Every structure is written in C-alpha cells, then in structure tokens.
Structure 1
C-alpha cells in the first residue's frame, strides 16, 4: 500500500467516526473540492466537513475500492443519513477521484446522481424537479449559504 492509498484510507476512516479534524488535515492548503452541492477551495473544505459531521451525527459511511498511485486516486463510498431540511432518509452512492501534492489531497471530486439524491432528500419536489438545472442551482446556493454562515461563526476557517 502506497502513501496516497494510506491518505485516502485515513480520510475515510476519520469520516466514519466524524473526525473532521483529521479529515481536514488530509487536504493541501490550496486544495479544491467539488460535488453536486459544493465548489470549494482551501479552508472552506475542512469547514464543510466539520459542518457536515456536526449536522450528520447519525451518518453511516462505508467505503471501498481505494486505489492510488503517486498522482491520482479513487474510492467508492456510500452514506446513509437523515437529510436535516426534510427529515427524509438518504442513501447516497458516491465515486470520488483525487489528485495529490506534497503528501496531501490537492483535488477531490465526488460524483453522484443528483436526481437520485434529490428524490430521496427532497421527496416529491426532488422527484419532479431533480433533473432540472433550476433545482440543482437552488441546492448549491443553499448549501454554500449554509457554509458561509458556518464559517462566519468559526474564525479558524476564515
């Protein structure tokens, strides 16, 4: 097992136990993160994980398929949680890709079906509008707004 595979394993093992500090420490200071809801850089990334670990106390995370070489890596992970806005149960299935710099994660991309996620998390609205750019834009704006409020309360991420 190489050092980048160990880094990915460290990240997901920390995620399983909501250790947001260790998760954040896995990222390079100039890292970027992107998924269906967030497009982040630098300190925003550990702030997001801290925020999500705080609201998702009952989240269950499982991961598999960790592979990496000296430049790139990937993993498959799944999360089961209750979406805080609706109270709906969600099972999200995600494929992650990574690049590395100086022994840290430099880029992290999580890909999942926005339609499947929104159908579960938002119920009927997600089923009807989950395929539209309109709903995706609304979800992104709300997620980023929540993160900005969180960062404003936690100066260590500013």
Structure 2
C-alpha cells in the first residue's frame, strides 16, 4: 500500500504536468515554504509562482521518478523540459525535491538542481562562462522576482 504522502507528491507532479496550478495548491499547507536556486517564497507567493509557471510553460513536460515519503518527509526526482522564454533556448533540468509534511499536506518544498548546468542550457556560452558566479545567479533571482511581482500584481487573488 502506498503511503498517503507519496500520493500527495504524485498528485502534485501530475497536476504540474497538466498545468493545473489549483491541483498543485491543494497539495500544499496554507503556510507553505518553497525554495530553490532562484526563489525563496512563502504562502501566496508559492501559489502565484506555480500559477505563473503553468501559464507561461505551454511546452513544459514533467517526468517524475524516485518518489518516496513517510509521515514527515518526502522526496522525488523530477525532470523538466521546456523552452526558457528569456533566451528561447531548450532546457532539460534535473531536479531533486525534498518535502516536509504536516497534517497531510506539504509544508516545506525545496528543489535542488545544478544552477551552472541550468545556466549553460538557458544562456549558452554566457551561462557556461559566468553561470557558476553569484553575479549571474543574483541577476536571475532579481529578474524572476520582478516577473513574479508583476504576475501577482496582475492577479490580485495572490495579494491577500
């Protein structure tokens, strides 16, 4: 029998693959915390980020593997294929996710990936030469935050 928290992880990524941000949000606790190399978000910011990524990622394909979970912790390996809008370049990102559960929902979600490898795919030679530097990562973080802030301003349901 599959652990219910493993089912939650599978539901989350099935929803993501369908670009169903409402289904994704159903897997999260109200005070969800999300982090990766680009974002560090809480609550409505997390929901808005996934909504934005689902809306903008028309070509996004998710491959899920190695899912495991128990009462408190979970993990999954997932891969994302998409065109990075800022450069028009194809990206294949391999991501290891970790989860913390509380009361049958995800309360913390962290995605780990090789930012330098990602930047090489997203930016080509500039990513190869400079993607390992904090300068590029900070620039990507600032641009992503600006896009998310604008998305939230355009979707006032996330500003509560």
Using the size of structure 1 for normalisation, the TM-score is 0.98
> CA-to-partner distance for each residue in 1:41-66, whole Å, 9 max, x for gaps?
00111110110011111111000111
Matches within 5 A, 1:2-17: 2-17=3-18
Partner Cα distance (2:57, 2:112) in 1:
19
Q: Which runs of 4+ in 1 moved over 6 A?
A: none
Partner of 1:143: 144
> CA-to-partner distance for each residue in 1:123-144, whole Å, 9 max, x for gaps?
1111110110111011011111
Partner of 1:31: 32
Partner Cα distance (1:157, 1:123) in 2:
34
Partner of 2:127: 126
Using the size of structure 2 for normalisation, the TM-score is 0.97
Partner Cα distance (1:93, 1:18) in 2:
19
> CA-to-partner distance for each residue in 1:70-98, whole Å, 9 max, x for gaps?
00000000011000010000000000000
Q: CA RMSD in A?
A: 0.6
Matches within 5 A, 1:1-158: 1-158=2-159
Unmatched tracts of structure 1, length 5 or more: none
What is the Cα deviation at residue 100 of structure 1?
0.7
Unmatched tracts of structure 2, length 5 or more: none
Between the two proteins, the alignment pairs up a number of residues equal to 158
